[in-house]
Amino acid sequence: KVIKMNYQLVTLADKLVVGITDRTNNAAPDMGKKIGQLWQRFYSDGHVDKIAHRIDHVALGIYTDYASDEKGDYTVMVACQVTEPSSCFETRVIKGGKYAKFVVKASQDQLVSKVAAAWTAIWQMPLPRLFAADFEAYQVADGEQAEVHIYISLKE
């Protein structure tokens, strides 16, 4: 069944981000596990606390370096936005431009499944995707409720 999702068109400025990366694709049987392990390393190995010059406490899940489209390989990065590059982590720039912004709200225990369902819906939408960098911004959770903003890069 196709899930309809509302979104807002936004224009973003360049974002300097630092974090850790891995490479996968949506057809890989271990894709979810790889992404989950990247998040696990980011938090349990204390990477998040070692990132200097952070702008805020928002963690970013970034999908970039697409080989083609949602069917090809891409780099997944777990990162934070910063004001200066890092010599200890990978540094990237998320290019500014036009994005479709989706908002996912869920309880903490349902967040992963709700975000996955949102991506499934997004892949089915006829968006003029750029496949430059798409990302999830995990907003600071308020008690049991969490909110994730998903940004999809669009052609101008």
User: For residue 108, what pLDDT is reported?
Assistant: 85
Percent share of the chain, pLDDT over 90: 77
Give pTM, 2 decimals: 0.93
Encode pLDDT of 83-124 as tens digits: 999 999 999 999 999 999 999 999 888 988 999 999 999 988
- Enter the DSSP assignment of 2: P
Helices (H) and strands (E) in the chain, counts: 3, 8
85 C-beta neighbours (distance < 10 Å), count: 14
| pLDDT value of position 145 | 86
Token pair for residue 153? 């890069």
Which residues of the chain register pLDDT less than 50?
none
- The confidence score (pLDDT) of residue 2 equals 58
Name the 3-class secondary structure at 37. helix
**Beta carbons within 8 Å of 56's beta carbon, 6+ residues apart:** 80, 81
